[in-house]
Amino acid sequence: MGALVWGMRSIRAVPIAAVALLMVGCSGPADVPEPEPTTSEARATTTSEPAQPEESPTEWDVAPSDEAPPVPGDEGPPEAEEGDAEEAGTAAHAAVEAYFATDNPDQWWSNFSQHLTPAAQEVWQFTDPRRVPTGAPEGSAEYGLVSGTDAEITVPTTIGDFQLVMVRADSADPWKVSYLEPPEEVA
């Protein structure tokens, strides 16, 4: 019977010992000081150049090369063609008109949103048309930078100038408002 009891105790002791070893293995490394260099190692380190930390190269460390093949998108936006600025200005003017057209608040969003990109729709979707000031475009649009796909337009209105950024994917697409900033007095 004594051997049986001792055998049962050893069976219980094995899991406890395993858990203890596991816990010791999970603890962090002990703080063990670095061994002092031997005399020959010390001489070797004092006679050589000081070690510089090795920096890993980043994508910015590579200088552009004329020999590198062009990557799609590196060429920038296409140049504006004749009439692009006027088309962007007309679309910006129509967007500002739709912004001010609050006579029918129930229809306001469906009319105004068709002039906006999806990202601009997210910004303006919770606008209460009853809080839109009364105004109207007046005069001609003024053009900033214009490319074949982007245009900076200023639309003068009766309450101040609206700044718009118009975009389109290519020349076959309609111009849409990606950014609209009302006059400072209104914002």
- Residue by residue, pLDDT tens for the chain (187 residues) are 555 444 445 455 445 544 444 455 555 555 556 666 555 555 555 555 555 555 555 555 555 566 666 666 666 677 877 888 999 999 999 999 999 999 999 999 999 999 999 999 999 999 999 999 999 999 899 999 999 999 999 999 999 999 999 999 988 899 999 999 999 876 5
Distance between CA atoms of 185 and 187, rounded to whole angstroms? Answer: 6
The pLDDT of residue 19 is 46
Contact 97, 136 (CB under 8 A): yes
pTM of the model: 0.60
Number of neighbouring beta carbons within 10 Å of residue 154: 17
The pLDDT of residue 136 is 95
Domains of the chain: 84-181 (3.10.450)
Task: Report the run of H or E that residue 164 belongs to, with start and end.
Answer: strand 160-167
The pLDDT of residue 62 is 53
Contact 96, 163 (CB under 8 A): no
Contact 109, 125 (CB under 8 A): yes
The pLDDT of residue 65 is 61
The pLDDT of residue 179 is 96
Amino acid at 120: A
The pLDDT of residue 129 is 95
The pLDDT of residue 35 is 62
The pLDDT of residue 184 is 84
Task: Report the run of H or E that residue 167 belongs to, with start and end.
Answer: strand 160-167
